[in-house]
Amino acid sequence: MSRLKDAARVELVSTIRTSVEQTIQERTSSDLQQSTTYFEEEIRDTYVSDTRISSSIRDIPGLKIEAYHNPNTKQIVAFAYLKRTTLINQLTRRVALELGKAESALSQAEIYINNGQKQQAQALLEQVSKQFEAVEEAQSLLVVVDDGADAELLQIDQLRDMKKTLSNLSAQVQNATRIYLYCDAQLFDSEYSMLVGKIRGDLSQLGVSFVNDAEQSNWAIFVEVSAREGKKLDYNGESIYYAYVDAQIRIIKTATGQHIYENIITEKDGHAEGYSQAALLAYRHITPKISEIIKQNIQQ
Q: Is the sign of the CA dihedral 147, 151, 155, 160 positive or negative?
A: positive
Check residues 240 and 48 and name the one with the higher pLDDT: 240
pLDDT beyond 70 at 19: no
pLDDT, residue 153, reads: 85
Compute and round to an integer the Cα radius of gyration of the chain: 31
pLDDT of residue 81: 61
- Strand, helix or coil at 274? coil
**Does 55 score more than 70 pLDDT?**
no
Rounded to the nearest angstrom, the gap between the alpha carbon of residue 237 and the centroid of all alpha carbons in its chain is: 59
The answer to whether 84 and 16 have CB atoms below 8 angstroms apart is no
Residue 108 backbone phi and psi in degrees, to 5: -65, -40
- pLDDT beyond 50 at 178: yes
pLDDT at 76: 64
- Please check whether residue 153 is in contact with residue 143, taking contact to mean a CB–CB distance below 8 angstroms: no
Give the mean model confidence (pLDDT) for residues 196-206: 90
Distance between CA atoms of residues 88 and 112, nearest Å: 36
User: How much of the chain, in percent, has pLDDT values that exceed 70?
Assistant: 73
Asked if 265 contacts 286 with a C-beta cutoff of 8 angstroms, the reply is yes
**Higher model confidence: residue 38 or residue 240?**
240
Element (H, E) at 227: strand 219-235
Structure confidence by residue, pLDDT tens digits, 116-163? 787 788 889 999 998 998 888 888 778 777 777 788 888 889 999 999
Phi, psi of 69 (to 5 degrees): -115, 125
- As a whole number, mean pLDDT of residues 248-257 equals 93
pLDDT value at residue 223? 97
Nearby residues of 205 by Cβ (< 8 Å), 6 or more positions away:
none
Q: How far, CA to CA in Å, does 232 sit from each of 117, 240, 261, 269, 277?
A: 43, 6, 34, 12, 13
Q: What percent of the chain has pLDDT over 90?
A: 37
Predicted pLDDT at 8:
44
What b/e sequence results for 228-260 when a residue is b if at least 16 CB atoms lie within 10 Å of its CB, and e otherwise? eebeeeeeeeeeebbbbbebebebbbbeeeeee
- Total residue count of the chain as it appears in this document: 300
Parallel, antiparallel, or unpaired: how do β-strands 178-187 and 219-235 relate? parallel
Q: Is 50 exceeded by the pLDDT of residue 42?
A: no
pLDDT score of 23 more than 60: no
Domain at 179-298, CATH from 3.20.20.100, 3.30.160.150, 3.30.450.40, 3.40.50.10800? 3.30.160.150
Q: What is the pLDDT of residue 285?
A: 95
Instruction: Return the closest-CA partner of residue 137 out of 95, 103, 81.
Output: 95
Distance CA 279, CA 270 (A): 8
pLDDT per residue as tens digits for the range 189-200: 899 999 999 999
Q: Which residue has the higher pLDDT, 19 or 75?
A: 75
pLDDT at 286: 96
Between 60 and 185, residue with greater pLDDT: 185
Largest Cα separation within the chain, whole Å, is: 113
Residue ranges covered by each domain of the chain: 2-172, 179-298
Residue 100 reports pLDDT greater than 80: yes
Terminal CA-to-CA distance of the chain, rounded, Å?
71
28: pLDDT strictly greater than 60: no
